[in-house]
């Protein structure tokens, strides 16, 4: 048996959801049922997805570990590989290896109130943790979800945003940078939503995921509200080419993001030179 850790496992596309004009969510199942059973992951871990003869790229797992028998990847069309993936249909095969990364500390968060702040496709890895929390709702306190997109047409997971808002002790607010004639919701940066909710920073752990330019501003506002550095958790982006700490592409501050990240608490991010 080939046990090369860089060898992808074949997986079949079972379903595709068009989230926006340039983002699709793919439901995948490994062709080997035993491989599917072995595949266990944490929220915010990622896989390397490949198309033979085209290339490979790291993509966050957006499904929740509480949902067994498949995995979901939400992929934005941004280059050659993702363009090819967007042309695939149910029944087509891709390669998957992983999962990689440390993931969100879901078990450590039991009993805490949770704040999620997402921008754009950054809602994808947070969706994994949010659905984990919703599937284990009795283990967690209040939940507040703040989401920002460029335009109404760029909002992902619209059905789930509505469903989450209907869950007990859960508040969901979202905004767009630019509205359109039909948009009647909030317009402005996602950080503005922080001032529209009631929360006690001492009881909350905050999770941030979105464009790199967004994250420092959210962290600054959370600190101003009184959040402790260790209670602010975010993801760091760096090109994770191999996923197993061999190639060195994602080395930052002496740590391999693909292995010791991509999830870090803010006090850890500062040690890596974040914000300097």
Q: What's the CA gap between 18 and 105, in Å, rounded?
A: 30
For 136, the token pair is: 């284990």
Q: Is 258 annotated as a binding residue?
A: yes
Q: Is 209 annotated as a binding residue?
A: no
Question: Rounded to 5 degrees, what are φ and ψ at 97?
Answer: -135, 150
Nearest Cα to 71, choosing from 94, 51, 102, 104? 94
Q: List the binding residues for [2Fe-2S] cluster.
A: 242, 247, 250, 258
Binding site membership: which residues? 242, 247, 250, 258
């Amino acid at each position: 048996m080939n046990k090369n850790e860089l060898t992808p496992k074949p997986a079949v596309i079972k379903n595709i959801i068009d989230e926006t004009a340039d983002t699709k969510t793919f439901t995948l199942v490994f062709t080997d049922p035993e491989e599917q059973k072995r595949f266990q992951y944490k929220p915010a871990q990622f896989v390397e997805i490949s198309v033979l003869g085209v290339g490979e790229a790291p993509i966050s797992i957006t499904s929740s570990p509480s949902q067994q028998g498949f995995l979901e990847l939400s992929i934005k069309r941004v280059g050659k590989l993702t363009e090819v993936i967007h042309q695939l249909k149910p029944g087509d095969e891709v390669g998957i290896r992983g999962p990689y990364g440390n993931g969100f500390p879901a078990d450590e968060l039991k009993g805490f109130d949770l704040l999620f702040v997402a921008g754009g496709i950054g809602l994808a890895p947070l969706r994994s943790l949010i659905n984990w929390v919703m599937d284990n709702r009795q283990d967690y306190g209040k939940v507040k979800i703040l989401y920002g997109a460029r335009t109404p047409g760029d909002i992902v997971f619209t059905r789930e945003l509505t469903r989450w808002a209907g869950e007990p002790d859960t508040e969901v607010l979202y905004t767009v940078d630019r509205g359109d004639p039909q948009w009647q919701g909030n317009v402005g940066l996602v950080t503005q939503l922080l001032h529209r909710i009631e929360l006690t920073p001492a009881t909350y752990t905050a999770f941030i995921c979105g464009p790199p330019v967004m994250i420092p501003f959210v962290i600054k506002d959370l600190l101003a509200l009184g959040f402790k550095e260790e209670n602010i958790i975010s993801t760091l982006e760096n090109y994770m080419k191999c996923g197993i700490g061999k190639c060195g592409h994602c080395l930052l501050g002496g740590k391999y993001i693909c292995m010791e990240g991509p999830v870090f608490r803010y006090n850890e991010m500062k040690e890596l030179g974040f914000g300097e």
